[in-house]
C-alpha cells in the first residue's frame, strides 16, 4: 500500500520538471554553504560540489540524465541572457578596458593558440583517437561554442560539453593558488587569464574573488570564443 503510494508519487513527480529544478537549486545552496566553511580552499568549488552531489544522486536513484535535464534546463537556459549580461560591466568599466586593450589582444592571441595547441600536443602524446582529439580541441571556450566547433571538426559534442565543464572547474580551482604563488596582483591580468582558459566557470570564480577580475574574465571568455572558432581550423 505504502509502496504503491511511493511509486505513484514518483511517477507523478517524474513527469514534471519541478522535482529536478528544485533539487538542483537546493544542492547549489548546500554547495555554497559547504564552500563558505572554508572560503580560502579553492577545491571547495560550488560548481564542482554541486555536480558531484547531483551525479551521485542520479547514479543512486537510477534516473537518466535526460529526465534530470528536463527539469534542470530552466537553469541552463539562463546561460544565454547571462552571456549577454557580460556586455554591461564592459560598458561600465570601459576606461579600464581601453587602458588595457593592447595587453588584452596580445594575451588573447597567445592564450588562444596555447589552449588549442597544448591540447592537441597532449592528445598526440597520449595517442587519443581523432574523435576525442577533435572533441577536446575547443575545451577552453564556453560550452555552446565549444560544442559547435567540435561538431564542425567531426568530434563528439556531448563529450566536448563534459570536457568543457571539467576544464572550467580545473581552471577555477588552480587559478587563485597559482597566481598567488607567482605573486601576481594585477586583477585585470588574473581575470583575463582565467576567462580565456576556463570560460564561464572561471568567470564565476573571478567574480567571487574580485569584480575587476570578473569583468576581464568575461571579456576574455567572449573574445576567446570568437577567436577559437576562427583559428581552430588552422590546426586541422
Partner 1 sequence: MPVGLTILLLFQLIGEILAYATHGAVPGPVIGMALIFLCLFLFKGQDRLKAFETHTLSASRLLLANLGVLFVPAGVGIVQHLDMVADRGPQLIATILLSTLATLLVTVSTFLLTKRLMGARKDG
> Which residues inside 149-168 make contact with partner 1, applying CB under 8 A?
158-159, 161-168
Cβ distance 35 to 46 under 8 Å?
Answer: yes
Q: Measure CA 222 to chain center.
A: 13
Give 223's Cβ-side CA count (13 Å radius): 24
Please choose, out of 6-14, 36-44, 97-105, the segment that lies near partner 1 by the rule CB under 8 A: 97-105
182 binds partner 1 (CB under 8 A): yes
User: Among residues 90, 89, 137, which one has the least CA distance to residue 115?
Assistant: 137
122 binds partner 1 (CB under 8 A): yes
Q: How far is the CB of 100 from partner 1 (least distance, A)?
A: 7
Cβ distance 116 to 229 under 8 Å?
Answer: no
> Which residues inside 129-148 make contact with partner 1, applying CB under 8 A?
132, 136, 139-140, 142-145, 148
Q: How far is the CB of 5 from partner 1 (least distance, A)?
A: 28
Q: How far is the CB of 210 from partner 1 (least distance, A)?
A: 13
Q: Which three cell numbers stand for residue 83?
A: 552571456
* Nearest to partner 1 of 13, 82 (CB atom): 82
Q: Which residues contact 24 (CB under 8 A, 6 or more apart)?
A: 50, 54, 71, 72, 75
Which residue of 169, 209, 213, 232 would you call a contact of partner 1, by CB under 8 A? 169
> Which residues inside 183-222 make contact with partner 1, applying CB under 8 A?
184, 186, 188-190, 192-194, 196-198, 200-201, 203-205, 207-208, 214, 218, 220, 222
Cβ distance 109 to 192 under 8 Å?
Answer: no
Please choose, out of 2-10, 11-19, 36-44, 62-70, the segment that lies near partner 1 by the rule CB under 8 A: 62-70
> Which residues inside 28-47 make contact with partner 1, applying CB under 8 A?
28, 46-47
Backbone angles phi, psi at 42, to 5 degrees: -70, -20
Distance CA 109, CA 185 (A): 22
Please choose, out of 7-15, 36-44, 75-83, the segment that lies near partner 1 by the rule CB under 8 A: 75-83
* Nearest to partner 1 of 6, 236 (CB atom): 236
Which residue of 19, 42, 119, 155 would you call a contact of partner 1, by CB under 8 A? 119
- Tracing cell 537518466 back to the chain, one arrives at 64
Distance CA 114, CA 116 (A): 6
Please choose, out of 5-13, 36-44, 54-62, the segment that lies near partner 1 by the rule CB under 8 A: 54-62
User: Among residues 144, 137, 120, which one has the least CA distance to residue 228?
Assistant: 137
Amino acid at each position: 500500500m505504502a509502496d504503491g503510494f511511493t511509486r505513484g508519487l514518483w511517477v507523478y513527480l517524474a513527469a514534471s520538471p519541478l522535482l529536478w529544478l528544485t533539487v538542483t537549486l537546493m544542492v547549489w545552496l548546500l554547495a555554497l554553504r559547504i564552500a563558505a566553511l572554508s572560503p580560502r580552499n579553492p577545491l571547495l568549488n560550488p560548481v564542482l560540489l554541486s555536480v558531484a552531489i547531483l551525479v551521485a544522486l542520479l547514479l543512486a536513484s537510477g534516473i537518466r540524465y535526460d529526465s534530470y535535464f528536463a527539469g534542470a534546463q530552466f537553469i541552463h537556459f539562463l546561460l544565454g541572457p547571462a552571456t549577454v549580461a557580460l556586455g554591461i560591466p564592459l560598458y561600465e568599466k570601459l576606461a579600464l578596458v581601453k587602458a588595457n586593450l593592447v595587453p588584452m589582444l596580445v594575451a588573447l592571441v597567445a592564450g588562444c593558440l596555447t589552449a588549442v595547441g597544448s591540447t592537441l600536443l597532449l592528445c598526440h602524446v597520449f595517442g587519443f583517437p581523432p574523435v576525442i582529439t577533435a572533441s577536446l580541441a575547443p575545451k577552453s571556450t564556453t560550452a555552446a561554442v565549444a560544442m559547435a566547433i567540435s561538431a564542425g571538426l567531426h568530434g563528439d559534442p556531448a563529450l566536448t560539453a563534459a570536457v568543457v565543464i571539467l576544464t572550467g572547474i580545473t581552471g577555477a580551482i588552480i587559478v587563485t593558488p597559482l597566481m598567488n604563488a607567482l605573486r601576481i596582483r594585477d586583477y585585470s591580468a588574473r581575470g583575463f587569464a582565467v576567462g580565456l582558459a576556463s570560460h564561464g566557470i572561471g568567470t564565476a570564480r573571478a567574480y567571487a574573488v574580485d569584480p575587476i577580475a570578473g569583468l576581464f574574465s568575461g571579456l576574455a571568455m567572449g573574445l576567446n570564443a570568437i577567436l577559437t572558432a576562427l583559428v581552430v581550423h588552422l590546426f586541422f
